[in-house]
């Protein structure tokens, strides 16, 4: 009997069926291009869901990662390691946050943020101050607690009961938050400044500022989930920097590692010392290879690059908001959502057939190109998208 080498069949036999996959087998890539196993070339406008910040197989990042790999790949958090400390220092210097806890994913970063907020509120206000308010249509992860934080019932239904203590407010409605705070002993409010999985929807500026002021007045912590919006994606280093607010806790993951799994919980002045020995941890957290790669990525997201991100964003918005078959363009920076006349899944299929990889967010087509996508490659992708839209 010959061995079955059909990847699609083997995947459906052996890999848990948790993802609706596109029928594309990625073989290799370079920068903003990837090739499938049949040699077909695509422009990558999805970057592994905002992960490959500098595209695929970026030389500088590979060097940073492999240099560290040749020294040692892991030690545990029982010893001091340079990549972890260097990255934490860089993040604090760039954000004015004070300390960083490292972990491996967005959900784990949000778990850490929630734990830090609960412990702070317990010590400051009492054990019954544990409620956390999140927004309707938010997405914060898939663990039982971050599912509870996620304000979308459709994610909850099969996994009840979830972690207790989460309340949901309609985004944009400051009165709704005020009422929740009045009636509930609240530790924190957690937001994505641009709701990603919820359909690439940016929160209103005045609303976020009002939220921030409400938090200050009531000693409620503001947590920004910057897993997707972080690390240059919105045209600022972190999404909240578009809003003139200062969160107490920032969680991030996705793009920070440039393709390796790493998450971070950045702790501001109020909460910097709330996590003490034994209260939190993660075996792989601060892994030296991931941190060395992330340090390379984070040190390259400078003002010049952010400026480029904003320019490319304006270009895309200008081109697509007037394009036939596109009803609206939402989002910020290089995190954009297209409301299309065609069904989004059909639209994505046609883009894929025409050599452009894009993904979905709710009923929208989502664009998440590499931060350094060359302008001429971006132009080529936008022309395909315009053609498909008609
Ligand atoms: C992707 C995402 C998460 C979950 O991140 P994982 O690394 O998949 O656990 C959490 N919050 C937001 C805003 C995200 O976009």
301 alpha carbon – ligand 1 mean position (Å):
20
324 alpha carbon – ligand 1 mean position (Å):
32
Q: Which CATH number fits domain 61-300: 3.40.50.1000, 3.40.640.10, 2.70.98.20, 3.40.190.150?
A: 3.40.640.10
Any atom of ligand 1 within 6 Å of the Cβ of 256: no
Domains 7-53+303-389 and 61-300 share a fold: no
Scanning the chain, the segments in alpha helix (DSSP H) are: 7-14, 47-50, 59-71, 82-95, 106-125, 144-149, 153-156, 174-183, 205-218, 288-300, 303-321, 344-353, 375-389
359 alpha carbon – ligand 1 mean position (Å):
15
For 226-276, the pLDDT digits (tens) are 999 999 999 999 999 999 999 999 999 999 999 999 999 999 999 999 999
To test the pocket of ligand 1, the residue of 190, 227, 234, 250 to mutate (highest count of ligand atoms within 8 Å of its CB) is: 227
Q: Which of 342, 336, 351, 346 is nearest to 324 (CA)?
A: 342
Torsion of the alpha carbons at 225, 317, 211 and 222, rounded to the nearest 10:
20
Question: What is residue 1's predicted lDDT score, i.e. its pLDDT?
Answer: 57
Q: Which of 18, 16, 34, 15 is nearest to 26 (CA)?
A: 34
For the beta sheet containing 33-36, the strands, ordered from the edge strand earlier in sequence to the opposite edge, are 26-30, 33-36, 41-44, 356-357
- Note the maximum CA span of the chain: 72
Which atom of ligand 1 lies at the shortest distance from residue 138's CA?
A: 13
70 alpha carbon – ligand 1 mean position (Å):
30
Query: Which element (helix H / strand E) includes 139?
Result: none
CB atoms within 10 A of CB 315: 14
Any atom of ligand 1 within 6 Å of the Cβ of 109: no
Residue 57 to residue 79: CA distance in whole angstroms: 30
Q: Could you say which DSSP state residue 6 is in?
A: -
Question: What is residue 213's predicted lDDT score, i.e. its pLDDT?
Answer: 98
**Reported confidence tier of residue 3, pLDDT bands at 50, 70, 90:** confident
Any atom of ligand 1 within 6 Å of the Cβ of 114: no
Any atom of ligand 1 within 6 Å of the Cβ of 141: yes
196 alpha carbon – ligand 1 mean position (Å):
9
Judging by DSSP bridges, how do beta strands 359-361 and 335-340 pair with one another? Answer: unpaired
Q: Is the pLDDT of residue 201 over 70?
A: yes
**Reported confidence tier of residue 311, pLDDT bands at 50, 70, 90:** very high
Which atom of ligand 1 lies at the shortest distance from residue 263's CA?
A: 7
Q: Which residues contact 18 (CB under 8 A, 6 or more apart)?
A: none
For 19-45, the pLDDT digits (tens) are 999 999 999 999 999 999 999 999 999
Question: What is residue 374's predicted lDDT score, i.e. its pLDDT?
Answer: 98
Domain limits, the chain: 7-53+303-389, 61-300
Q: With beta carbons less than 8 A apart as the criterion, state whether 208 and 202 touch.
A: no
To test the pocket of ligand 1, the residue of 49, 106, 239 to mutate (highest count of ligand atoms within 8 Å of its CB) is: 106
Question: What is residue 74's predicted lDDT score, i.e. its pLDDT?
Answer: 98
Mean pLDDT, to the nearest integer, of 64-86? 97
Which atom of ligand 1 lies at the shortest distance from residue 229's CA?
A: 13
Q: With beta carbons less than 8 A apart as the criterion, state whether 134 and 198 touch.
A: no
Question: What is residue 229's predicted lDDT score, i.e. its pLDDT?
Answer: 98
Query: What is the third-level CATH fold of 7-53+303-389?
Result: 3.90.1150
Residue 256 to residue 272: CA distance in whole angstroms: 21
């Amino acid at each position: 009997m010959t061995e079955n080498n059909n990847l699609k069949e083997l995947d459906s036999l052996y890999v848990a069926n948790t993802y609706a996959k596109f029928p594309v087998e990625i073989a290799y890539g370079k920068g903003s291009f990837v090739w499938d196993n049949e040699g077909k070339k695509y422009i990558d406008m999805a970057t592994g869901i905002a992960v490959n910040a500098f595209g695929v197989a970026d030389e500088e990042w590979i060097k940073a990662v492999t240099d560290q790999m040749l020294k040692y790949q892991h030690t545990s958090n029982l010893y001091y390691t340079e990549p972890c400390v260097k990255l934490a220092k860089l993040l604090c210097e760039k954000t004015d946050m004070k300390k960083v806890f490292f972990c491996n994913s967005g959900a784990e970063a949000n778990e850490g943020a929630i734990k830090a907020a609960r412990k702070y509120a317990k010590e400051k206000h009492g054990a019954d101050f544990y409620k956390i308010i999140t927004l309707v249509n938010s997405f914060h992860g898939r663990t039982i607690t971050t599912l509870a934080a996620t304000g979308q019932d459709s994610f909850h239904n099969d996994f009840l009961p979830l972690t207790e203590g989460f309340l949901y407010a309609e985004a944009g409605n400051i009165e709704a938050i005020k009422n929740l705070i009045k009636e509930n002993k609240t530790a924190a409010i957690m937001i994505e400044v641009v709701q990603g999985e919820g359909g690439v929807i940016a929160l209103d500026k005045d609303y976020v500022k009002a939220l921030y002021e409400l938090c200050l007045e009531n000693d409620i912590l503001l947590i920004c989930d910057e897993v997707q919006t972080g690390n240059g994606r919105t045209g600022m280093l972190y999404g909240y920097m578009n809003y003139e607010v200062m969160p107490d806790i920032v969680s991030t993951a996705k793009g920070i590692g440039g393709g390796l799994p790493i998450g971070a919980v950045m702790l501001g002045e109020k909460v910097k010392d709330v996590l003490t020995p034994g209260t939190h941890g993660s075996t792989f957290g601060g892994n030296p290879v991931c941190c060395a790669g992330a340090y390379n990525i984070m040190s390259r997201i400078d003002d010049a690059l952010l400026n480029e991100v904003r320019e490319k964003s304006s270009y895309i918005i200008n081109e697509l908001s007037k394009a036939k078959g596109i009803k609206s363009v939402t989002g910020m920076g290089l995190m954009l959502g297209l409301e299309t006349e065609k069904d989004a899944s059909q639209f994505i299929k046609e883009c894929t057939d025409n050599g452009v990889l894009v993904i979905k967010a709710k009923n929208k087509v989502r664009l998440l190109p590499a931060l350094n996508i060359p302008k001429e490659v971006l132009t080529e992708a936008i022309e395909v998208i315009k053609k498909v839209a008609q």
